Amino acid sequence: MSAHAIFDHAPIGSTIAWSDGTPRPLARFTRKLAAWLTNNGKGRLIRKQPSRSMGNLSLSASFTLHEADFGTGGVVAIRVHRSFSLDSTLHFSAVERPAIGSVRVLDRVGADAELVHLASNLAAAEEWLSRHGYPRAVLQEVTADEVGAAVVEGRAA
Read off the pLDDT of residues 57-85 as tens digits, 9 standing for 90 and up: 888 899 999 999 999 988 889 999 999 99
The mean pLDDT value for 44-53 works out to 92
- In tens, the pLDDT along 100-143 reads 999 999 999 988 899 999 999 999 999 999 998 889 999 999 98
pLDDT at 3 over 80: yes
pTM of the complete model? 0.85
Are 3 and 84 in contact by the 8 Å Cβ rule? The answer is yes
What is the side-by-side order of every strand in the sheet holding 115-119? Answer: 115-119, 103-106, 138-141
The H-assigned helical ranges of the chain are 3-9, 30-38, 122-132, 144-152
Residues with Cβ within 8 Å of 48's Cβ and at least 6 positions away in sequence, in order, are: 7, 12, 61, 62, 63, 64, 111
